Amino acid sequence: MHLEDYLGRWAELHPKKTAVICGEDAITYGRLWKLVRERSLRYKQEGGNAVVVRSTQQADFLITYFACHLTGKAIVPLESDCPDTKLSTIQHEISTCQIPSHVADILYTTGTTGRQKGIMLSHKAIIANAENLISAMQFTEDLLFVISGPLNHIGSLSKVWPTIVSGGTLCITPGMKDMNTFLGAFRLPYHKVATFLVPSSIRMLLQFAQKELASLSEKIDFIETGAAPMPQSDMEALCRLLPQTRLYNTYASTETGIICTHNYNSDYCTAGCLGRPMQHSAVLITADGNVACKGDTLMEGYVGDEALTQSVLHDGTLFTSDQGRIDDYGRLHLAGRLGDIINIGGYKVNPVEVEDAALLFPGIADCICTPSPHPVLGTVLKLYVVPKDGTVLNKKDLYAYLMQKLEHHKVPQLYTVTNHIERTFNGKLNRKYYLT
């Protein structure tokens, strides 16, 4: 079955049940299915085997998304503010490539490590991802799932899939800039509410909305995070605020799909632990210590680039640049990306470990650890820190604190106070920005 088969089934069984809430508009399954079928007629009349569109936080985008699938075409959702020149370039690239008929989505990566790549996902992978999430996180028919992230990114888009398959309700909000609107979605008349948030968004809630979040603890069924490492301090703080809520840390990427997850609000709250493989997935660690994935959630390949596809996907296995290990309980632990590891005097330093330690220092709101050239020592660690409002940061005290928490070669030599840490649009630390 395709995603649209489930949409049509729920429209037939429960036509008056709300499928999507967006602002003041609430669209039932019956109405959504009618609008999707009507729009699919337009796409049937157009040429090509893929549709390139700007994604938005609007119900209209979901109608387009489902309609493209129903027509048998792949959809290529781009950022909402994608420039015309970039959109035209991708349209040309897509039009000159052979897109297999079983491809449903082509998602472009953020491009922080190089040029953007179009990643092809099949209908089979979409359903496998949906079933992974349903079985692991217990998506149900009575769940309201709040989406605040961009729908051209797998982190948020992948939550559309299990919600529709299980017959739940989606609530689309315009990001986290308007925190009141986001939190207002949790006050809607639903007994069970869940969401996906990148770690930087969770940090915002912990800094500015702790009381509001705690007041909603009985309604929040679960919160999933992914896309970037979550600091230990934030994990522990969220567990204290939401003692009854399932809190998941998930291993996923556009190329691999949704692979592993772990409820760290259970018996094991440890940064870097991403849990066991889900229903349709498997993980292994290569001889080089990198994570490799198998299963039905994997991408079909990079559009128009067979050589690049073959370099990471062969023999039914996708080989990542993530370094990790599997513990005695079968849980995956990440140790950072291969390209992020910093060589300091022959020692390998994972910058995430340094950042996690620094975030435990009172008065630090955000930080990033980077390599920096030194005239005598060669390469040293540099820490950019954002103080919390009203805090005057003492660099000597921070240095002394980190000397107690880390091995000496992991303690930064240089410190810069800033008011902002650069991130990609999906919440990852933009390490490449600090290397230019």
User: Are 315 and 425 within one domain?
Assistant: no
Domain count, the chain: 2
Q: Domain range holding 423?
A: 341-435
Helix (H, G, I), strand (E, B) or coil at 272: coil
User: Are 193 and 281 within one domain?
Assistant: yes
The pLDDT, as a whole number, for residue 338 is 61
With contact defined as beta carbons under 8 Å apart, do 193 and 170 qualify?
Answer: no
User: Are 177 and 50 within one domain?
Assistant: yes
Domain boundary among 335, 352, 374: 335
Mean pLDDT, consecutive 10-residue stretches, the chain (436 aa), reads 97 98 96 98 90 95 98 95 89 93 91 71 98 98 96 95 98 89 95 93 90 94 90 93 97 96 94 96 96 98 95 96 94 81 80 90 93 84 92 92 90 94 81 82
**CATH number of the domain to which 38 belongs:** 3.40.50.12780
The pLDDT, as a whole number, for residue 112 is 41
Cα dihedral across residues 335, 108, 159, 423: positive or negative: positive
User: Are 237 and 128 within one domain?
Assistant: yes
User: Are 257 and 113 within one domain?
Assistant: yes
Question: How big, in percent rounded to 5, are the helix, strand and coil portions of the chain?
Answer: 35, 30, 35
The pLDDT, as a whole number, for residue 113 is 45
User: Are 128 and 254 within one domain?
Assistant: yes
CA distance 281 to 130: 12
Residues 6+ apart with CB under 8 A from 362: 391
CA distance 377 to 354: 19
For 305-413, where are the E strands, in sequence order? 313-314, 317-326, 332-337, 342-344, 347-349, 364-374, 378-387
User: Are 324 and 356 within one domain?
Assistant: no
The pLDDT, as a whole number, for residue 111 is 47
User: Are 76 and 181 within one domain?
Assistant: yes
pTM metric for this prediction: 0.84
Helix (H, G, I), strand (E, B) or coil at 428: coil
Domain boundary among 266, 300, 335: 335
With contact defined as beta carbons under 8 Å apart, do 235 and 247 qualify?
Answer: yes
Tokens standing for residue 134 = 């349903």
CA distance 95 to 47: 10
CA distance 106 to 119: 5
With contact defined as beta carbons under 8 Å apart, do 207 and 197 qualify?
Answer: no
The pLDDT, as a whole number, for residue 426 is 67
Residues 6+ apart with CB under 8 A from 312: 255, 318, 319, 320
- Cα dist from 340 to 6, 46, 190, 293, 322, whole Å: 41, 44, 42, 20, 9
Domain boundary among 335, 355, 387: 335
**CATH number of the domain to which 360 belongs:** 3.30.300.30
* Maximum Cα–Cα distance across the chain: 72
User: Are 114 and 38 within one domain?
Assistant: yes
